[in-house]
């Protein structure tokens, strides 16, 4: 599942990196592909929609940093939003003092 999501996001980012200027149309197309990739990875529709709205809000009209191309800037925004969505800090796994330790894994 994560391999497919990674491949889809890599394709989107590769296309963005190759552009010197990000147009509204290119941004829409990239966000549509990201939405498809997230939904195919079983991300909740509302979570994906809110995530992409935050990315769009941050990307539209933002001043591009001198050290980054516009494509790299969008990639940076997507990365920052993903980190915020998934949690910026990691929590240690608490192992039971008496085995077995039971772990529950839940999707996005």
Q: What's the mean pLDDT in 76-104?
A: 87
Containing structural domain, residue 35: 2-86
Q: What's the mean pLDDT in 1-7?
A: 78
pLDDT, tens digit (0-9, with 9 covering 90-100), for 59-85:
876 665 666 777 788 888 888 998 888
26 part of a folded domain: yes
Give this prediction's pTM.
Answer: 0.71
Q: CATH no. for residue 71? A: 1.20.120.140
Within 10 A of 51 (CB to CB), how many other CB atoms are there?
Answer: 22
pLDDT, tens digit (0-9, with 9 covering 90-100), for 15-48:
877 776 777 888 889 899 999 999 998 889 999 9
103 part of a folded domain: no
Q: What is the pLDDT of residue 70?
A: 73
**Tally of domains in the chain:** 1
Above 60 in pLDDT, residue 97? yes
For residues 78 and 35, the answer to whether their CB atoms sit within 8 Å is no
> Which positions ≥6 away from 62 have C-beta within 8 Å?
73, 77
23 part of a folded domain: yes
């Amino acid at each position: 599942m994560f391999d497919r999501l990674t491949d889809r996001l890599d394709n989107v980012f590769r296309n963005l990196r190759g552009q010197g200027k990000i147009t509204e149309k290119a941004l829409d197309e990239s966000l549509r592909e990201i939405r498809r990739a997230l939904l195919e990875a079983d991300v909740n529709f509302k979570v994906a929609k809110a995530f992409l709205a935050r990315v769009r809000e941050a990307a539209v009209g933002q001043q591009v940093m001198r050290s980054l191309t516009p494509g790299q800037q969008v990639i940076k925004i997507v990365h920052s939003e993903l980190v915020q969505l998934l949690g910026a800090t990691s929590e240690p796994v608490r192992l039971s003092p008496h085995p077995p330790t039971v772990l529950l894994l839940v999707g996005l």
